[in-house]
Amino acid sequence: MKKAEGNISVVKQFVLLGFSDLSNLQGFLFGVFTIIYMVIIIGNSLIIILTILDPALHKPMYFYLANFSFLEICYVSVILPRMLVNLWTQDRNITFLECATQMCFFLVLGTSECFLLTVMAYDRYVAICNPLHYPVVMNQKLCIQLALGSWTIGIPVQIGLTAQIFSLNFCSSNDINHFFCDSLPVIRVACGDISRHEMFIYVEAMVIIAIPFLLILVSYSKIITTILKLPTASERVKGFSTCSSHLLVVILFFGSGAIAYLRPKSSHSSGIDKLLSLFYTVVTPMFNPMIYSLRNKDVYSALRKLLLKK
């Protein structure tokens, strides 16, 4: 705390309470999250390596998958290393600047994930609904432009949101009842009327979560309609298998994210908020490589060839 004019204490650093209420499980949680972090890094790195080394994976679908895997590594690395340090040292202090930086990167990368999943759905739509035009439509230039757009689209908006949140006065408690600096937990420790800022966060979440999700739903409604019109059962099974992995990831990520950000304020509790945040920030990135490698024949085949070479 730092004294300001009128003897009002102004917060200069925060305390991430995280899982401090589970005092007897700190060592266990450190071990579990360390293993999870290693699984995420190794699994997603392996997918990136496979898409680079195997010529059979030099397709738009796997180009986006490699981008998605790298995004997952960045996304998790914004949160987990800091959480592991807090669990190991029991020093939960985080400076004003560190908290703002963590929030900004988390929001930017989260936005990128929403739009990259939408681009991947569009890729599957073109491949299944317009297969003859697929090589022309999803050319290298468009693939790079869509990937670059997904990575950068959230930067100006989320920098602005972070600046707006940290321009507030934090003059009461500096305890953030969360394991990282997310927008809603941070804004709730600000003093004064924060209803307008909360509303802005909800509106932004609606745009960033709901619009991409609706675009994905439209793509998959057309994909499913096209697959059901295929003449043989084997063709229908093959059609569903090409997009089932992506659809499962979409349900896991958007489902937990929508519940976390868009459910009514009256139903919020710190325990449920932490559990939902763990799901879309840690659990889903851990399962993504398994989902794509086990449910995708091309990735599984590339992995087998790599292991046989070794």
Q: What is the pLDDT of residue 202?
A: 82
> What's the Cα-to-Cα distance from 53 to each of 17, 57, 88, 303, rounded to whole Å?
43, 8, 37, 10
pTM, whole model, 2 decimals?
Answer: 0.88
Q: What is the pLDDT of residue 103?
A: 93
Residue 286's nearest CA partner among 147, 79, 18, 21 is 79
Q: What is the pLDDT of residue 79?
A: 92
Helix (H) / strand (E) containing 33: helix 26-53
Q: What is the pLDDT of residue 294?
A: 64
Query: Structure tokens of 302?
Result: 């590339």
93-95 sheet: strands from edge to edge: 93-95, 13-16, 175-176
Q: What is the pLDDT of residue 264?
A: 64
Domain count, the chain: 1
Q: What is the pLDDT of residue 266?
A: 58
Dihedrals phi, psi of 309, to nearest 5 degrees: -65, -45
Domain that residue 35 falls in? 2-309
2 residue type, one letter: K
Q: What is the pLDDT of residue 305?
A: 79
Residue 287's nearest CA partner among 30, 44, 32 is 44
User: Could you report the per-residue pLDDT of 147-165, keeping only the tens digit for each?
Assistant: 999 999 989 989 998 998 8
Q: What is the pLDDT of residue 300?
A: 74
Q: What is the pLDDT of residue 122?
A: 93
Q: What is the pLDDT of residue 267?
A: 56
CB 170 within 8 A of CB 11: yes
CATH assignment at residue 155: 1.20.1070.10
User: Which residues of the chain have a pLDDT value below 50?
Assistant: 1-9
The overall longest dimension of the chain from CA atoms, in Å, is 77
CB 13 within 8 A of CB 95: yes
206 residue type, one letter: M
Dihedrals phi, psi of 208, to nearest 5 degrees: -75, -35
**In the chain, what is the straight-line distance between the N-terminal and C-terminal CA atoms, in Å?**
57
Complete DSSP assignment for 251-292: HHHHHHHHHHHHS-GGG--HHHHHHHHHIIIIIHHHHHHHHH
Q: What is the pLDDT of residue 1?
A: 43
Query: Structure tokens of 36?
Result: 């999870």
User: Could you report the per-residue pLDDT of 25-50, keeping only the tens digit for each?
Assistant: 888 999 999 999 999 999 999 889 98
